Amino acid sequence: MKVVVAPDSFKESMSAADAAAAMVRGVRAVVPDAECVEIPMADGGEGTTAALVAALDGQWRTVASTDALGRPIEAAYGLSGGLAVVEVAAAVGIGLVAPADRDVLASSSLGVADLVRDALDAGATRLVVGLGGSATTDGGAGLLAGLGVRWLDPEGIALSPTPAGLAALDRADLSGLDPRLAAVAIELACDVTNPLLGTEGAAAVFGPQKGATPAQVPVLDATLARIADALRAAGLPDVRDRQGSGAAGGLGAAFLALGARMRRGVEVVAEAAHLEDAVAGADLVLTGEGSLDRQTLSGKTPAGVAEVAARHGVPVIAFAGRLGEGSDELVGGVFAAVVPITTGPCDLATALAQGPANLERAVATALRLTQVNARTP
């Protein structure tokens, strides 16, 4: 029996790799000689790098960088052969800045460039970027500055790549842009479709989540427009209306202007982890994450795994710490079954701590039931 285990993380309880290991233990408790293929998964958000490093037996690289406020930190990304996996939140994540310290006008994505440059130094030819969880709304000005772009005022004086620093932006000088970028395929793992500007743009929709006041939102939007104008005038494509250009405070726009391709996060991870090859010829696929509900179909990992399995006619069982509203609608069309891993009422801390054991137990129970069903006429 060949079983592919391809879970996402169970937030605050298990990483994707830990969840995959628990699933394998559950399978082998019932079918000791089962061929189990572990493929930790993610959807482009938090945990994407960890999932791919585990799935591809890659390595972590730690880089001296700066957070969104320019404070020194160490940030890590993943490397496997010519593939580098970067999460922007590793350098400029909102979780790295205390709520009381957040200042969108003074925040920059410069730290992300440290990770990209190190990946280029390491020989990466393909870059997967997880766009999510950033503390910045700088349109990627910091990223581009770190890659060699100079932001200039009308007198040719270089400006700081923050929204406040770019108030007098007149033009962008691309002459110093790292030439190695032209030879790198960049894929953006992201499910955000917002454009860069306007009422659905980066400033209006995501700015308040990063601490922007109502008065600062139009200031940020105007700055993002100036950045887009400067890049277009310098010869880069105008991406302000492209889907996803508003992701990660406009980092989506900066990467798109460099020639990146925007894709659903789970598709990028599945392809990089060779999920399709693993599922071919499998008898069963197991997936899951912390919660399954109606939103699972909106680009979440379990639904993406099920899409791959459906192309090969392989049934999928999904496990979750919580089954939310609409989870019953997932059975039949998407999953063969959805299974909660908790065994009874308990407080949240206990449920999180017992997650691996509960998942292992739930998988074993599901496998026993499938065996009974297979023997029942």
In this structure, what are the phi and psi dihedrals at residue 25, rounded to the nearest 5 degrees? Answer: -60, -40
Would the pLDDT of 375 be above 60?
no
Burial letters 28-62, b for 16+ CB under 10 A, else e: bbbbeebebbbbbbbbbbbbbbbbbbbbbebeebe
Would the pLDDT of 374 be above 80?
no
In this predicted model, which residue has the larger pLDDT, 313 or 193? Answer: 313
pLDDT category at 346 given cuts 50, 70, 90 is confident
pLDDT the model gives residue 172: 98
Identify which of 226, 91, 117 has the alpha carbon closest to the alpha carbon of residue 164: 226
In this predicted model, which residue has the larger pLDDT, 226 or 191? Answer: 226
Model confidence pLDDT, tens digit, residues 211-230: 999 999 999 999 999 999 99
C-alpha neighbours within 13 Å on the C-beta side of residue 56? 23
Overall pTM surpassing 0.75 (yes/no):
yes
In this predicted model, which residue has the larger pLDDT, 347 or 214? Answer: 214
Would the pLDDT of 40 be above 60?
yes
pLDDT the model gives residue 135: 94
pLDDT the model gives residue 21: 96
Domain with CATH 3.90.1510.10 in the chain: 48-265
Which tokens belong to 34? 């089962």
CB 104 within 8 A of CB 216: yes
Question: Top-level CATH class of 2-41+280-375?
Answer: alpha beta
What share of the chain has pLDDT > 70, as a percent?
98
What share of the chain has pLDDT > 90, as a percent?
75
Q: Is the dihedral of CA 283, 14, 299, 347 positive or negative?
A: positive
Mean pLDDT rounded to a whole number for the chain: 92
Question: For the residues 287-303, what does the mean pLDDT come to?
Answer: 86
Question: For the residues 134-147, what does the mean pLDDT come to?
Answer: 97
Give the CATH fold of the 48-265 domain.
Glycerate kinase, domain 2 (3.90.1510)
pLDDT the model gives residue 44: 81
Q: Is the dihedral of CA 55, 58, 62, 65 positive or negative?
A: negative
In this predicted model, which residue has the larger pLDDT, 254 or 191? Answer: 254
Domain with CATH 3.40.50.10350 in the chain: 2-41+280-375
